[in-house]
Structure 1
Amino acid sequence: MSLVRVAVIGIGNMGAAHARTLVAGEVPGAELVAVCDVRQEMESWVSSNLPASVTYWQDAEQMMSSGTIDAVIIATPHYDHPEKAIQAFRDGLHVMIEKPAGVYTKQVRKMNEAAAASGKVFSMMYNQRTNPLYIKLRDLIASGELGEIRRTNWIITNWYRSQSYYDSGGWRATWAGEGGGVLINQDPHQLDLWQWTIGMMPVRMRAFCSFGKYRNIEVEDDVTAYVEYENGATGVFVTTTGEAPGTNRFEVNGDRGKIVIEDGQLTFWRLREPEPEFNQRFTGGFGQPECWKCEVPISGVETGHPGLIRNWIDAILNGTPLIAPGEEGIHGLTLSNAMLLSTWTDNWVDLPIDEDLFYEHLQQRIASSNTKKDKAGSSSQPADLSQTFK
């Protein structure tokens, strides 16, 4: 194969953007040959905005089994990501899915199993993994520069959303439409980076989610979670869509210092000697280890969505290692599922979570939800990119 024939399923904000990226020739080795959306009116959008060579389909299953494509980018509503991916793998297609991996881990686990059985290239649209700041943080931790992790703390509250935002679509902020609130809609990138940069998942969690605290919605819009790791380290994750001005600060403490990412900057306060060694030899009263504020060189440019699509195509054509393997999407989703389950049961939750129990609680909320999820394959977001919402 020298050219990958790509189709996009779901022509909403992100699907339309990915289609335009491919048409613009930003991904060598890939050609956009088809798009799919269940809404018939999208056919006119396709004919007006994409080359005549791009075929419009209304039925995703027919398109995927047609033999006219090699790979799909899935940008449908959250619930449909695993379903569409599983069908694509069955049809022998390579797959890239938008975040989140799905709504509940039980569904995503089946998707991962289908991916493994297919032997096809499976990637997640975790574009923040191309951010040089988080790449450097991951490198500093993996190389031992920060020592053993003791504490993580992420305050991500700059997701302000007004009531008019939620009122812009009946599917928004509903259990049946989106499957959650700030955790499933705004935070998937941070939840992924939280575990990806430090290289470990918590072993248990206690979380407190508020539902409709600041807005007239049925899902979570304010969350505070406390986690514990196997090595004894602890962590806190705080997020909301109801505060202004917001904060985005990720702090990681180790026994060799502290790293903070905030306002687009990485700062490393490095101890001259590990804290345990200082503590063992120190005999004074109020001393502490000598600390240096280090300027860490950050190289590279964030390539975002186009960069991840290029990486996926390179993996298909040349075997290039994936930046964001699709199978890893379950990790961040596990964190958000655990936060909700801890709140619903008013108790600690061990990881991995009880997937059947989470599914049971979720179904109860879907049954009483104010909306039913959009039909599989629809975009659920306006195609007008000037109205982009995340």
Structure 2
Amino acid sequence: MEQVRIGVVGIGNMGGAHADWLAKGEVKGAKLTAVCDTNPACLQLAKEHLGEDILIYDNLDALFAAHCIDALLIATPHYTHPSIAIAAFKHGLHVLTEKPAGVYTKQVRLMNEAAARTNQKFGIMYNQRMNPLYRKLRDLILSGELGEIKRTNWIITNWYRSQSYYDSGNWRATWEGEGGGVLLNQDPHQLDLWQWTTGLMPVRVRAFCSFGKNRNIEVEDDVTAYVEYANGATGVFVTSTGEAPGTNRFEVTGDRGKIVIEDDKLTFWRLRISEKEFNASYTGGFGEPECWKCEVPIEGKNTAHVGIMQNFVDAIRNGTPLEAPGEEGIKGLSISNAMHLSTWLDDWVEMPIDEDLYFQLLQEKIKDSKFRKQAETER
């Protein structure tokens, strides 16, 4: 395929940015052909800023019927990602969806099954997988340089959001509109990187989510979670949208040292011999392995969203392996669902979680909600 014709559904804040990058030709081998949104104001902006050649649709059925695209980029509210993707697959389209994959794993599993029944490419906008810092961390861990992992700790509290941000859209920070708070909106990237860089998924989760702790919202805006892995390692994940200044520090400890990513730097405290080897042979009482502090050089730049789109287009045109396969979106979502479920039950949760129980409790949250907003809906 010489050129991939792409349509964008949902052209609010993020979808509008995707459409703009495509329209400006920043993705080689791709052409923005059409956009679709139910919001007349968004469609008017598209007409004014994306060029006269772009086809404009106010419903998906019309877009599908036009046969004017080869691939669909989904940037609508979270709940709709799986249903739109499934419909797109049925029409023979390649799909790239914004994060998160969905709100609950039960619906995302259906999306993954639909993808598996096609030969179409399916990607997810995990743009931080294009960040050289995390790519280097993944390389050091999966190559065995760090040894067996013992502990992971991520403090990600620099997602500051004001009350005016939450008030900017009726769908924001509600169980019915968004399906969650910081875990569903801001943290999908970190929850993905947490498992992608380490190669580990938790087997048990105990979480403490605070709902509306810092803002007038009904979903979680502050979370502290503890996880256990199959190899005996443990992890802690702390996040908030109400702290200023916030922190973004990811620390992974292994048998051969410790790696920390903070302030856009990767530091490796590397043991000359492994901790296990030292412990087995050392007889001097007090003492510890020799350790070298290494400032690991990071090459390349973070191509972020455009990098994911370029990789997606290259996969369609040339068969290039996807950096962020859409099917992997369920992994990070499984972790956030487990954190919610643990808090709702006030107990440990084994993974994989009980998807039916999660869905039931989520529906109860929606039904019992008394939270109302007056702001205009905006993406």
Q: Aligned residue for 2:74?
A: 74
1:124 CA drift (Å): 0.4
Residues 91-146 of structure 1 show CA distances to partners (whole Å, capped at 9, x for unaligned) of: 00000000110000000000001011011000000000011000000000011000
Q: Aligned residue for 2:322?
A: 322
Give 1:30's aligned amino acid.
A
* 1:193-204 alignment runs, 5 A limit: 193-204=193-204
Q: Aligned residue for 2:244?
A: 244
* 1:289-308 alignment runs, 5 A limit: 289-308=289-308
Give 2:236's aligned amino acid.
V
1:380 CA drift (Å): 5.1
1:171 CA drift (Å): 1.8
1:169 CA drift (Å): 2.0
The CA distance in 1 between the partners of 2:341 and 2:254, in whole Å, is: 29
Residues 289-345 of structure 1 show CA distances to partners (whole Å, capped at 9, x for unaligned) of: 000001222111110111110100000000001110000000000000000000001
Q: Aligned residue for 1:376?
A: none
Give 2:4's aligned amino acid.
V
**Aligned-residue identity in percent:** 68
Q: Aligned residue for 2:9?
A: 9
1:26 aligns with 2:26: yes
The CA distance in 2 between the partners of 1:178 and 1:49, in whole Å, is: 28
5+ residue gaps, structure 1: 374-378, 383-390
- The secondary structure found in structure 2 opposite 1:99 is coil
The CA distance in 1 between the partners of 2:340 and 2:293, in whole Å, is: 38
Q: Give me the TM-score of the superposition, normalised by structure 2.
A: 0.97
The CA distance in 2 between the partners of 1:167 and 1:50, in whole Å, is: 28
Q: Quick check: 2:125–2:308 contact (8 Å CA) kept in 1? A: yes
The CA distance in 1 between the partners of 2:39 and 2:245, in whole Å, is: 38
Q: Aligned residue for 1:331?
A: 331
Which range moved further: 334-343 or 276-285? Answer: 276-285
1:370 CA drift (Å): 4.6
Q: Aligned residue for 2:230?
A: 230
1:40 CA drift (Å): 2.6
Give 1:122's aligned amino acid.
F
1:177–1:324 CA distance, 2 compared to 1 (3 A) = same
The CA distance in 1 between the partners of 2:60 and 2:169, in whole Å, is: 23
Q: Aligned residue for 2:176?
A: 176
The CA distance in 2 between the partners of 1:134 and 1:380, in whole Å, is: 35
Q: Aligned residue for 1:123?
A: 123
1:275 CA drift (Å): 0.3
The CA distance in 1 between the partners of 2:49 and 2:164, in whole Å, is: 28
Q: Quick check: 1:272–1:290 contact (8 Å CA) kept in 2? A: yes
1:286 aligns with 2:324: no
Give 1:381's aligned amino acid.
E
1:293–1:171 CA distance, 2 compared to 1 (3 A) = same
The CA distance in 1 between the partners of 2:93 and 2:364, in whole Å, is: 34
- The secondary structure found in structure 1 opposite 2:48 is helix
The CA distance in 2 between the partners of 1:268 and 1:380, in whole Å, is: 46
Q: Quick check: 1:77–1:380 contact (8 Å CA) kept in 2? A: no
Q: Aligned residue for 2:272?
A: 272
Q: Aligned residue for 1:313?
A: 313
1:186–1:11 CA distance, 2 compared to 1 (3 A) = same
The CA distance in 2 between the partners of 1:368 and 1:53, in whole Å, is: 46
Residues 221-272 of structure 1 show CA distances to partners (whole Å, capped at 9, x for unaligned) of: 1111100000000000000111111110000000000000001100000000
1:366 CA drift (Å): 1.1
1:166 CA drift (Å): 1.5
Give 2:143's aligned amino acid.
S
Q: Quick check: 2:98–2:125 contact (8 Å CA) kept in 1? A: yes
Q: Aligned residue for 1:145?
A: 145
5+ residue gaps, structure 2: none
Q: Aligned residue for 1:62?
A: 62
Higher relative CO (CA 8 A, sep ≥ 6), structure 1 or 2? 1
Q: Quick check: 1:149–1:254 contact (8 Å CA) kept in 2? A: yes
- The secondary structure found in structure 2 opposite 1:327 is helix
1:68 CA drift (Å): 1.5
Q: Aligned residue for 1:388?
A: none
> What RMSD in Å do the two structures reach over aligned CA positions?
1.4
Q: Quick check: 1:170–1:371 contact (8 Å CA) kept in 2? A: no
1:99 aligns with 2:99: yes
Q: Quick check: 2:168–2:378 contact (8 Å CA) kept in 1? A: no
- The secondary structure found in structure 2 opposite 1:260 is strand
1:341 aligns with 2:338: no
Aligned residues: 377
The CA distance in 2 between the partners of 1:358 and 1:234, in whole Å, is: 24
Q: Quick check: 1:97–1:124 contact (8 Å CA) kept in 2? A: yes
Q: Give me the TM-score of the superposition, normalised by structure 1.
A: 0.94
The CA distance in 2 between the partners of 1:149 and 1:42, in whole Å, is: 47
